[in-house]
């Protein structure tokens, strides 16, 4: 195994680790005893009526619910008609009366997407297609006509909402445009389909409008005008709005409610409060229950609130669980979800409201990520506020403290420590390589954000204006500029010994421009060369590898080529025997 090779190859050359190595051995043994199952993630699946809609091969298909695991399915659309390179379905939505189905289709090497609308009949046919769609939902008007609302994404920014109808009364019109470039728009249909919510959000502030699911041609109703620093998310049940918000004290998120016809903030009544330092991961609404998915002190919890009697049942989940995968579900009696962890495949659980108990499900061969109707959101906590703008160095201090703790307690040593980061995580890891390079032996970075200062000063880039609340505005605020200079990885490169670094970048990545990564790599190599010259070659010169991949997708799937390149780099830098590593990888990857 990786850990056995790791230990045996270093045993003769490294000083003995502390007695706490026994704890490390216990962790290793636990990992090895976990079932090494193969499983794959299916991109999108949704149940509607008596059918399941999903992707089979290169086709959008549907089958009867009871035949979902068989080969008896109906082909609705062949993705090859779009002439895209390896297309896959990212999201599916079915019209209320199943006259139409809409699907968002993407490719692995691009963030752009196409939404197709297929008319469901004896011979299904594509009715329309819309480019660059982000979120989309169906509603039905007073005359039983299906109306599709969708957001249009331009340069990674979603500012426009459109609505369209099909058939004999075909139309496509712009419904709303957000003028503030620091905000974006996404659509969410409440669990009971009563309202379509138009969510207008920045990093710290939100504003929600209600579109009547029964009268979608009526003007939308504003719940509460945006207030700087106030975030809120909305669900609906029995003519009441349930609002998850950080308004008021304490700043942790709390659940409030109000009548749907009096939605303004002065009418919000406190319904449920969270413990301090609790992160709200998600919320799901049922006929008689509201389910909150929470994280507190690094443990996951499910809180089940009875809406009839305001009872609360809090369930502490297994300590190995690190995250939730929430399931599509229209059954008012059950709340299904999965728990995931780096050390085992996801496990299925179902909370059954009638029994008031959580059950672990068995018999699922392949855990599946499904398109969900659950309100997807990231409830920003005080912890997040303490790590943005002029508090970014707090994150660097936390990362350094974690690594030093692993060293101090004998779990590792600097020459045995590797670190990996993706996207904005590159800021902290790059900063650590500048400030405390002696803590690390090797680093892998993927699509890393490394030139914070120059990026945030270039307002022509797609995400600069949207990210000002996170990083600050160095163009207009001198204190922001000076603070960013203190930690920006590119700005703080200097002649010194660095860990070896493997960087994977993407040629047409719109989120993290390739130019900044190339500039960082060149500057880093120059500093390393200068240091080697000044010290006369006293240190082993670190390897700096820049692997530029084709494509423009910032969220690249875990391809075999990428994984093997990164693993090969780490094994070589840590001095491990990689003879059997690729055979072991085949247990998890289908070459």
Distant-in-sequence, close-in-space partners of 295: CB < 8 Å, separation ≥ 6: 278, 279, 281, 301
Name 119's bridge partners.
100, 125
Is 135 assigned a catalytic role? no
How far, in whole angstroms, is CA 115 from its chain's centroid?
A: 21
Give the 3-state secondary structure of residue 5.
helix
Beta bridge partners of residue 84, listed in sequence order: none
**CA torsion, points 48, 49, 50, 52, in degrees to nearest 10?**
-10
Identified catalytic residue from 48, 159, 236, 554 = 554
Is the peptide bond prior to 250 cis by the omega test (within 30 degrees of 0)?
yes
C-alpha–C-alpha distance, residues 271 and 532, integer Å:
63
509 tagged catalytic = yes
What are the beta bridge partners of residue 326?
Answer: 337
Q: Which of 95, 111, 164 is nearest to 103 (CA)?
A: 95
d(CA 458, CA 182): 14
Per the structure block, which two tokens stand in for 577? 């025997």
Tokens of 35: 């079932």
Joined together, the tokens standing for residue 155 give 């340069």
- Nearest CA to 224 out of 248, 249, 205 is that of 205
Can you spell out the DSSP letters for 64-82? Answer: EGGGTTSS--EEEEEGGGG
532-541 contacts at long range (C-beta below 8 A, 24 or more positions apart): 534/495, 539/497
Q: Tell the residue number behind the tokens 């379905």, with chain if given.
A: 89
DSSP secondary structure string, 407-463? Answer: HHTTS--GGG-EEEEETTHHHHHHHHHHH-GGG-SEEEEES----HHHHHT-TTSTT
**Which residues in 164-195 are b (16+ Cβ under 10 Å) and which e?**
bbbeeeeeeeebbebeeebbbbbbbbbbebbb
Beta bridge partners of 46: 53
User: What interhelical angle do 478-487 and 392-408 show, nearest 10?
Assistant: 20
C-alpha dihedral sign at 499, 502, 505, 511: negative
Place of tokens 């959008």: 60
Does 423 qualify as catalytic in the annotation? yes
Catalytic residue among 9, 423, 435, 475: 423
Return d(Cα 125, Cα 76) in angstroms, integer: 7
Rounded Cα distance between 153 and 318, Å, is 39
The partner residues of 224 in beta bridges, in order of sequence, read 208
**What does the block give as tokens for 54?**
């999903």
Neighbour-count burial for 400-434, b at 16+ CB within 10 Å, e otherwise: beebeebbeebbbeebbbbbebbbbbbbbbbbbbb
Q: Which of 113, 236, 509, 531 is catalytic?
A: 509
| Backbone dihedral angles phi then psi of residue 475, each to the nearest 5 degrees | -75, -35
Show the CA angle centred on residue 185, arms to residues 183 and 191, nearest 5°.
Answer: 135
Contact indicator for 279, 306 with CB cutoff of 8 Å: no
In angstroms, the CA 227 to CA 18 distance is: 53
Active site residues: 423, 509, 554
């Amino acid at each position: 195994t990786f850990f056995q090779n790791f230990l045996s190859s270093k045993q003769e050359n490294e000083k003995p680790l502390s007695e706490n190595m026994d704890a490390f051995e216990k962790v290793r043994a636990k990992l090895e005893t976990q079932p090494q199952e193969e499983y794959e993630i299916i991109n999108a699946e949704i149940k509607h009526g008596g059918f399941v809609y999903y992707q089979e091969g290169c086709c959008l298909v549907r089958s009867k619910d009871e035949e979902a695991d068989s080969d008896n399915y109906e082909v609705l659309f062949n993705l090859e008609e779009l002439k895209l390179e390896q297309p896959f379905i990212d999201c599916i939505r079915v019209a209320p009366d199943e006259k139409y189905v809409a699907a968002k289709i993407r490719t692995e090497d691009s963030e752009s997407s196409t939404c197709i609308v297929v008319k469901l009949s004896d011979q299904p046919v594509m009715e329309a297609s819309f480019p660059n769609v982000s979120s989309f939902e169906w509603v039905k008007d007073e005359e039983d006509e299906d109306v599709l609302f969708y957001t249009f994404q331009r340069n990674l920014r979603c500012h426009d909402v459109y609505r369209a109808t099909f058939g004999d009364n075909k139309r496509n019109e712009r419904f709303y445009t957000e003028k503030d470039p620091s905000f974006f728009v996404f659509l969410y249909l409440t669990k009971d389909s009563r309202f379509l919510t138009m969510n207008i959000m920045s990093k710290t502030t939100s504003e929600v409008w209600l579109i009547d699911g029964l009268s979608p041609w009526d003007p939308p109703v504003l719940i509460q005008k945006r207030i700087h620093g106030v975030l809120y998310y909305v669900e609906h049940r029995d003519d009441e709005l349930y609002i998850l918000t950080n308004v008021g004290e304490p700043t942790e998120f709390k659940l409030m409610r109000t009548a749907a016809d009096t939605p303004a903030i002065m009418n919000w009544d406190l319904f449920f409060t969270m413990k301090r330092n609790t992160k709200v991961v998600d919320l799901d609404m049922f006929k008689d229950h509201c389910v909150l998915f929470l994280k507190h002190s690094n443990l996951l919890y499910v809180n089940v609130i009875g809406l009839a009697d305001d009872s609360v049942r809090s369930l502490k989940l297994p300590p190995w669980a690190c995250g939730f995968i929430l399931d599509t579900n229209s059954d008012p009696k059950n709340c299904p979800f999965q728990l995931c962890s780096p050390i085992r495949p996801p496990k299925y659980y179902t909370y059954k409201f009638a029994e008031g108990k959580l059950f672990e499900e068995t018999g699922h061969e392949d855990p599946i990520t499904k398109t969900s109707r659950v309100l997807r959101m990231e409830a920003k906590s005080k912890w997040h506020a303490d790590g943005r703008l002029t508090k970014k160095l707090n994150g660097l201090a936390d990362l350094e403290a974690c690594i030093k703790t692993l060293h101090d307690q004998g779990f590792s040593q600097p020459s045995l420590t590797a670190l990996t980061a993706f996207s904005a995580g590159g800021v902290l890891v790059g900063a650590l390589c500048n400030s405390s390079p002696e803590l690390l032996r090797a680093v892998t970075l993927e699509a890393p954000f490394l030139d914070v200062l120059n990026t945030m000063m270039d307002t022509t880039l797609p995400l600069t204006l949207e990210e000002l609340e996170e990083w600050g505005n160095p163009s207009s605020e001198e204190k922001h500029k000076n603070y960013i200079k203190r930690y920006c990885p590119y700005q703080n490169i200097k002649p010194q010994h660095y860990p070896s670094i493997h960087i994977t970048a993407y040629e047409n990545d719109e989120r993290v421009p390739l130019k900044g990564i190339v500039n960082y790599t060149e500057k880093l190599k120059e500093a390393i060369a200068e240091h080697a010259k000044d010290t006369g070659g006293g240190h082993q010169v670190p390897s700096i590898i820049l692997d530029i991949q084709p494509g423009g997708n910032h969220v690249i799937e875990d391809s075999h080529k990428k994984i093997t390149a990164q693993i090969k780099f780490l094994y070589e830098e840590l001095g491990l025997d990689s003879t059997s590593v690729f055979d072991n990888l085949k247990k998890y990857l289908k070459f």
